Structure 1
């Protein structure tokens, strides 16, 4: 007697993400993808990233590669994904809002307060105050070189900041926000 095996082949499917089925722990179990002809329920393997549900947005275009298994009884086809990529050009990594951290400990008394006020005025004058966040934080551990600031997301540190340096710092780090 001969044992019949199901037909297994690879597939690549580009379609719109219609729905996600997740487990109670947040891991994605199934994707519902649709293309022009039909909808596909695709099983997601456990080796996919744990935060996959946060990376995928309903309505986004996905490219899914995997294996399809044609079952012997009926016309049932099971799809299993081993690679999932977002195709949408509009879904890019969101660039974090630039932030300037001012030391509010000893630096604040040694010119940090003045530098913070001048930076705020310079940003408002250029019309980019809403695009840059200014935060006061605890000690930045360079008290003898006060005042100190850190510009994020580059993590650029500046010490001994003078009031005349503020406009050049704005031009250097925030010019593209104009």
Structure 2
């Protein structure tokens, strides 16, 4: 069995199983396919009360490859609700939201000392002023391994990464992406 970690973001499709509160799996719609993810026992009761079909969620977990069958099994250890997309359709129509953009912000001392905190505040203000806060996830990270260009922000849009950007450039790229 091969093991690896995964981080997926998609639309929660609902629980799989017969007995309410005792569901072992849930469906997750990704851009390319729908997958089933196993829910650990300690999360089942809580999730059955809190997740709503159609909601966007981020799932972290372990991916297992069964070398005999070639089947990949996903088991969640962390599930974060992200809310609903503004262009929400019913789960039957499977209208998927565009993937959210993500901004990684280094929180190590080198970046903080070189003005990282002020730039982050400025970025959050500009995003809020332009109504983009709901379309981007700001993730505080440890060292991004590019200390020479501190303070460091990395903008991830889809599969693209942009580095060494200032807040205005980040917002400009986001506006282009979302329009």
Q: Normalised by the shorter chain, which TM-score bucket?
A: 0.3 to 0.5
TM-score (normalizing by structure 2): 0.44
- The alignment's TM-score, normalised by the length of structure 1, stands at 0.44
Which of structures 1 and 2 has the bigger CA Rg? 1
